[in-house]
């Protein structure tokens, strides 16, 4: 009983809290990093160096008036942010944050596919938000979003197939163990796939330079134009939770999850003194930082260019990568 119910529930509770809290600090990190990139200071008022800004923001959002436009579809308008947040949180169930069983909730044999399929549900949140607002800019944004997310989902899934081929398993823990066995992070085995997943991940999470659905300068905020208060905050949470998911997936698939660098070289065994979860979070942080960095640097793609990139560049490369991986797998 304790083994099957209490411990998993405890883990879920801890993980959910950790994710939600880290999301609020992600916003602070993003504001700070972008500010430094732009030779500003960023938030400095709340607490020392503005660290309490991460708490002030959610409080503000909770206390704000939550407005539903008169002509909106009330049910869908409320449902949409929930739909976009829940899948983002559900996928954490299969992310292994460390080597020990303590650090993941479950390890299912279709783990990677589970992540892909559950995140694909998140698109409904954006589409329904745009539709339910009964407003033109959100509608445009949601049409953009649905096309963008489906296209990039294909590209990312295709790319992941080559990783699955290399690892020979769909389980997230299994993939890390496969990297341990082969002694190489798959980032070195599958560099093309790594780059494709990174680009696709940016597009899947609607981050710059692919933030078409919420392009403020074009669509005045996109699908969440009509949202305010807590419902807006849910979208916000979903976006950052998705960023964390993508970073975690990239870490697991390409950067050896909780493994230390060069797991096969015994001379570096002293690195194992650092606990596995620290390695994991360290790697994840690198990718989160990368996401923010890219946002501060790059202009935004145009919608048709984005689709062209997805269909005419990423998908063909992904297919080519599968073929090459398959041949290599057979030959070696």
- Residues in contact with other proteins by CB under 8 A are 34, 37-40, 73, 75-76, 79, 108-110, 113-114, 116-118, 120-121, 123-124, 127-128, 131-132, 136-137, 139-140, 142-144, 146-147, 150, 153, 157, 170, 208-209, 211-212, 215-220, 295-305
Q: By C-beta, is 98 or 213 nearer to other proteins? A: 213
Nearest to 163 by CA among 91, 214, 118, 111: 111
| CA–CA dist 38, 32 (Å, integer) | 10
| CA–CA dist 91, 131 (Å, integer) | 26
Cβ 76 to other proteins shortest distance, Å: 7
User: Which 3 state secondary structure label does DSSP give 183?
Assistant: coil
Whether the Cβ atoms of residue 113 and residue 102 lie closer than 8 Å to each other: no
Q: By C-beta, is 40 or 64 nearer to other proteins? A: 40
Cβ 246 to other proteins shortest distance, Å: 16
Cβ 213 to other proteins shortest distance, Å: 12
Q: By C-beta, is 171 or 179 nearer to other proteins? A: 171
Q: By C-beta, is 79 or 319 nearer to other proteins? A: 79
Residue 206: partners with Cβ closer than 8 Å, 6 or more residues away: 126, 145, 148, 212, 213, 214, 239
| DSSP per-residue string spanning 131-180 | HHTT-HHHHHHHHHHHHHHHHHHHHHHHHHHHHHHHHT---HHHHHHHHH
Whether the Cβ atoms of residue 83 and residue 223 lie closer than 8 Å to each other: no
Q: By C-beta, is 109 or 264 nearer to other proteins? A: 109
Cβ 135 to other proteins shortest distance, Å: 10
Q: By C-beta, is 50 or 122 nearer to other proteins? A: 122
Cβ 81 to other proteins shortest distance, Å: 14
Burial class (CB in 10 A: 0-12, 13-18, 19+), 11: middle
Cβ 20 to other proteins shortest distance, Å: 23
């Amino acid at each position: 009983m304790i083994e099957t119910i209490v411990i998993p529930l405890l883990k879920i509770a801890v993980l959910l809290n950790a994710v939600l809290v880290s999301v609020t600090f992600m916003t602070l990190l993003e504001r700070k990093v972008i500010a430094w990139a732009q030779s500003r200071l960023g938030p400095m008022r709340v607490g020392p160096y503005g660290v309490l800004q991460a708490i002030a923001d959610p409080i503000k959002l909770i206390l704000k008036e939550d407005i539903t436009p008169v002509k909106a579809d009330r049910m869908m308008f409320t449902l949409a942010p929930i739909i976009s947040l829940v899948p983002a949180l559900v996928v954490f169930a299969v992310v292994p944050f460390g080597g020990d069983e303590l650090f993941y909730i479950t390890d299912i044999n279709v783990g990677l596919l589970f992540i892909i399929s559950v995140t694909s549900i998140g698109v409904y949140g954006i589409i329904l938000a745009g539709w339910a607002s009964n407003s033109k800019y959100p509608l445009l944004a949601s049409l953009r979003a649905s096309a963008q997310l489906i296209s990039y989902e294909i590209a990312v899934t295709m790319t992941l197939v080559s990783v699955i081929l290399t690892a020979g398993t769909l389980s997230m823990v299994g993939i890390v163990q496969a990297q341990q066995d082969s002694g190489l992070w798959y980032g070195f085995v599958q560099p093309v796939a790594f780059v494709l997943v990174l680009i696709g991940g940016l597009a899947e999470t609607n981050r710059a330079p692919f933030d078409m659905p919420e392009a403020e300068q074009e669509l005045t905020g996109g699908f969440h134009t009509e949202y305010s208060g807590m419902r807006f905050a849910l979208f916000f949470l979903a976006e950052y939770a998705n960023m964390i998911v993508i970073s975690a997936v990239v870490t697991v698939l390409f950067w050896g999850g909780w493994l230390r660098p060069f797991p096969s070289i015994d001379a570096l065994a002293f690195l194992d003194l650092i606990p596995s979860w620290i390695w994991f979070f360290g790697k994840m942080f690198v990718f989160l930082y990368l996401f923010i960095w890219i946002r501060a640097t790059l202009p935004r793609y145009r919608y048709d260019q984005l689709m062209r990139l997805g269909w005419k560049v990423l998908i063909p490369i992904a297919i080519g990568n599968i073929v090459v991986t398959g041949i290599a797998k057979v030959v070696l």
